[in-house]
Chain A
Amino acid sequence: MRSILKWSRENLFATRMNAVMSVLSIWLVYVAIEGVFSWALINASFIGTDKASCAANPHGACWPFVTAKLNQFVYGNYPMGEQWRVNIVFALGAFGLGLLMTKRVSFKKEVAVLMLTVYPVLTFILLSGGFLGLSYVETNQWGGLLVTLVIAVTGIVVSLPLGILLALGRRSELPIIRIMSIGFIEFWRGVPLITVLFMASVMLPLFLPEGMNFDALLRCLIGVSMFASAYMAEVIRGGLQAIPKGQYEAAKSLGLSYWKSMRLIILPQALVVSIPGIVNTFIGLFKDTTLVMIVGIFDLLGIISFHFTDPNWTSPQVPITGFVFAGLVFWVFCFAMSHYSKSVERRFSVTGENK
């Protein structure tokens, strides 16, 4: 107790100005937290099956809406009886990521390779089905968090290697490769993602021959991946430029070929330098997935707002509750990514002093 008093005197009330600022800040924080707290907990409704249960608390959150619709928020219209397939995909993904994040695991490389090769194939087989005795589930039945994660993870997994190749291409000494890389990057960076998605879903079918059509979700996946790759390329190019010329020369003088020196010397250093930018792009990509809503794909946000129109739940608290819930889920994922990136950065720190 004495030490708390001492600490506050030194840090919060050292001068008169300091004291005024401290009181003001504490008051502001209190007002904000108190508002959120009473809305989300004190004045909120928790139990019920329709909007009537929320009518009693008009100034609080309507959580029954979220609990009643949770299944759709996670799986969309994925058939109830088949949802175990999604659960396996989620569980395997979480397990794999968990292994990659655990410090003591010594076989990280093998896990990473499996996650990048076997896991996507397995995910496709399980989610889509149509063979091996699994019934076919059309992608227009997919929705909610499932779709958000499918788009975000695909975008992340495709954009990193493609971004690396584009960044190397942009710095290439071969003019054709350089021009093609610059063209690709500048095209995709210059177009808004909404336009890309619209083009993919509305324009593209017009150009394709009659009868030939490919999946709407797949088109979105390609659009999002190309878009993210262009951004990723520029982030990685920044990292490549941070590597001193001497590193390239030392690699050359030892007789390493271009690809070997990139793989062993330059990229491992450049990628570590780029981690903050890479994670920034990942987070941006994760949040941008909400835009697929406008081409009729129901991601998490899309499906939540779709259910606002349910006549059982037309009440003024419902949209607010839904948006807050969506925000919370997005925040948890993005915060986790940013937090994890910090530990990765520390682990791969180039100086060797932090190892």
Chain B
Amino acid sequence: MSEKHIIEITHLDKYFGDFHVLKNINLSVAAGERIVICGPSGSGKSTLIRCINHLEQHDGGEIIVEGIPLNDSVKNIDFIRSEVGMVFQQFNLFPHMTVLENCILAPVWVKGVPRAEAEMLALQYLERVRIPDQADKYPGQLSGGQQQRVAIARSLCMQPRIMLFDEPTSALDPEMIKEVLEVMVDLAEQGMTMLCVTHEMGFARRVADRVIFMDEGEIIEENTPAAFFDNPQNDRTKLFLSQIIGD
């Protein structure tokens, strides 16, 4: 059973001081599965995915990625981080480097890939996110949507098996959301394992295998997108859906 699960989270607990952010979270993700996590702000959804690559340290329970437990071992943390890519709400590109340098940095310095090879790979991924001709520009010269696509390419350059998206379109102007989502759909269609914290319900409907609804640090409901949107079970889910969909 656990063989085909690429991520296995059991009884996960996390506190910020006295505040119980994540309460007994259990979640298994199969290889190639696309999961969308949604919920009101402060529900712990970002914290959950940040625990998976140890940007946040969990206080209880277990996280196992590709059979490797996430614990204090620096070796394990480094391994898991090299297998898990992350895209942030604020892009977090390195402003003092060109787009290409952003992309080849980790392959060269973490994996020891030769520079020329890393550049070829980077150009290939920049093509895939549809900005091959911006490689020599600095992040500050690009639009928000372009920056976010570079950030996706930068993560892909490490050739991760899992991608985490932490509200990737929330900081974008409306007209740029589509171009980023299209790249994410592409990625999903090519079989990447994805965990996306997002409120883009159209995206969820189109690509997600499962939608997870969180509130106050707990997983309230999880279901296929069709069932989740058309027939929500829990009252809190219904309330949330009515709020984000509008009327």
Instruction: List residues of A whose CB falls within 8 A of some B CB.
Output: 244, 246-247, 249-250, 252-257, 260, 264-265, 268-269, 272, 348, 350-353, 355
Report the separation of the CA atoms of residues A250 and B54 in the bound assembly, to the nearest whole angstrom. Answer: 12
Residue contact A353 to B53, C-beta cutoff 8 Å: no
Interface residues of B in 93-111 (CB under 8 A from A): 93-96, 105-106, 109-110
Q: Which residues on B sit within 8 Å (CB–CB) of A257? A: 78
Report the separation of the CA atoms of residues A351 and B96 in the bound assembly, to the nearest whole angstrom. Answer: 7
- Asked, given contacts A254-B154, A255-B110, whether A352 binds B139 with beta carbons under 8 Å apart, the answer is yes
Q: Which residues on A sit within 8 Å (CB–CB) of B55? A: 249, 252-253
Residue contact A355 to B138, C-beta cutoff 8 Å: yes
Residue contact A253 to B81, C-beta cutoff 8 Å: yes
**Minimum distance in angstroms from A262 CB to a CB of chain B:** 12
Q: Please, what's the 1-or-0 string for B102-145, where 1 marks a CB less than 8 Å from any CB in chain A?
A: 00011001100000000000000000000000000111110000
A272 nearest CB neighbor, chain B only: B96
Residue contact B88 to A250, C-beta cutoff 8 Å: yes
Question: Does any Cβ of A come within 8 Å of B214's Cβ?
Answer: no
Report the separation of the CA atoms of residues A37 and B17 in the bound assembly, to the nearest whole angstrom. Answer: 69
Q: Which residues on A sit within 8 Å (CB–CB) of B137? A: 352
**Minimum distance in angstroms from B4 CB to a CB of chain A:** 25
Q: Which residues on B sit within 8 Å (CB–CB) of A350? A: 95-96, 140
Question: Does any Cβ of A come within 8 Å of B43's Cβ?
Answer: no
Q: Which residues on A sit within 8 Å (CB–CB) of B158? A: 254-255
**Minimum distance in angstroms from B155 CB to a CB of chain A:** 7
Q: Which residues on B sit within 8 Å (CB–CB) of A250? A: 86, 88, 92-94
Instruction: List residues of B whose CB falls within 8 A of some A CB.
Output: 53-55, 78, 81-82, 84-86, 88, 90, 92-96, 105-106, 109-110, 137-141, 154-155, 158
Q: Which residues on B sit within 8 Å (CB–CB) of A246? A: 88, 90, 92
Interface pairs (13), CB distance under 8 Å: A246-B90, A246-B92, A252-B81, A254-B155, A254-B158, A255-B110, A256-B105, A260-B109, A269-B95, A351-B138, A352-B139, A353-B140, A355-B138
**Minimum distance in angstroms from B80 CB to a CB of chain A:** 9
Residue contact B81 to A254, C-beta cutoff 8 Å: yes
Report the separation of the CA atoms of residues A332 and B28 in the bound assembly, to the nearest whole angstrom. Answer: 68
Report the separation of the CA atoms of residues A134 and B96 in the bound assembly, to the nearest whole angstrom. Answer: 47
**Minimum distance in angstroms from A271 CB to a CB of chain B:** 10
Report the separation of the CA atoms of residues A190 and B112 in the bound assembly, to the nearest whole angstrom. Answer: 45
Residue contact B81 to A352, C-beta cutoff 8 Å: no
**Minimum distance in angstroms from A117 CB to a CB of chain B:** 24
Q: Which of B84, B139, B140, B154 has the most chain A CB atoms inside 10 A of its CB?
A: B140
B106 nearest CB neighbor, chain A only: A254
A251 nearest CB neighbor, chain B only: B94
**Minimum distance in angstroms from A78 CB to a CB of chain B:** 44
Residue contact B85 to A253, C-beta cutoff 8 Å: yes
Residue contact B96 to A268, C-beta cutoff 8 Å: yes
A352 nearest CB neighbor, chain B only: B138
**Minimum distance in angstroms from B64 CB to a CB of chain A:** 18
Report the separation of the CA atoms of residues A257 and B74 in the bound assembly, to the nearest whole angstrom. Answer: 10
Report the separation of the CA atoms of residues A151 and B47 in the bound assembly, to the nearest whole angstrom. Answer: 52
Closest 5 CB pairs of A and B: A352-B138, A250-B92, A254-B106, A246-B92, A253-B86
Q: Which residues on B sit within 8 Å (CB–CB) of A249? A: 55, 88, 92
Residue contact B109 to A351, C-beta cutoff 8 Å: no
Q: Which residues on A sit within 8 Å (CB–CB) of B106? A: 254-256
B98 nearest CB neighbor, chain A only: A352
Q: Which residues on B sit within 8 Å (CB–CB) of A352? A: 95-96, 137-141
B53 nearest CB neighbor, chain A only: A253
Q: Which residues on B sit within 8 Å (CB–CB) of A265? A: 94
Q: Which residues on B sit within 8 Å (CB–CB) of A351? A: 95, 138, 140
Q: Which residues on B sit within 8 Å (CB–CB) of A353? A: 138, 140-141
Q: Which residues on A sit within 8 Å (CB–CB) of B109? A: 256, 260, 264
Report the separation of the CA atoms of residues A275 and B38 in the bound assembly, to the nearest whole angstrom. Answer: 44
A263 nearest CB neighbor, chain B only: B109
Report the separation of the CA atoms of residues A68 and B226 in the bound assembly, to the nearest whole angstrom. Answer: 95
B101 nearest CB neighbor, chain A only: A264
Report the separation of the CA atoms of residues A265 and B94 in the bound assembly, to the nearest whole angstrom. Answer: 7
Report the separation of the CA atoms of residues A81 and B121 in the bound assembly, to the nearest whole angstrom. Answer: 62
Report the separation of the CA atoms of residues A246 and B88 in the bound assembly, to the nearest whole angstrom. Answer: 8
Contacting residue for A264 out of B78, B85, B105, B141, CB 8 A: B105
Q: Which residues on B sit within 8 Å (CB–CB) of A260? A: 109-110
Report the separation of the CA atoms of residues A300 and B22 in the bound assembly, to the nearest whole angstrom. Answer: 66
Report the separation of the CA atoms of residues A218 and B54 in the bound assembly, to the nearest whole angstrom. Answer: 48
Report the separation of the CA atoms of residues A354 and B140 in the bound assembly, to the nearest whole angstrom. Answer: 11
Known: A260-B109, A355-B138. 15 other contacts (CB 8 A): A246-B88, A252-B53, A252-B54, A253-B53, A253-B81, A253-B84, A253-B85, A253-B86, A254-B81, A254-B106, A255-B110, A256-B109, A269-B96, A350-B140, A352-B138
Residue contact A255 to B92, C-beta cutoff 8 Å: no
**Minimum distance in angstroms from A273 CB to a CB of chain B:** 11
Q: Which residues on A sit within 8 Å (CB–CB) of B155? A: 253-254
Report the separation of the CA atoms of residues A246 and B94 in the bound assembly, to the nearest whole angstrom. Answer: 10
Q: Which residues on A sit within 8 Å (CB–CB) of B140? A: 350-353
Report the separation of the CA atoms of residues A293 and B139 in the bound assembly, to the nearest whole angstrom. Answer: 51
B151 nearest CB neighbor, chain A only: A250
Report the separation of the CA atoms of residues A256 and B139 in the bound assembly, to the nearest whole angstrom. Answer: 20
**Minimum distance in angstroms from A131 CB to a CB of chain B:** 42
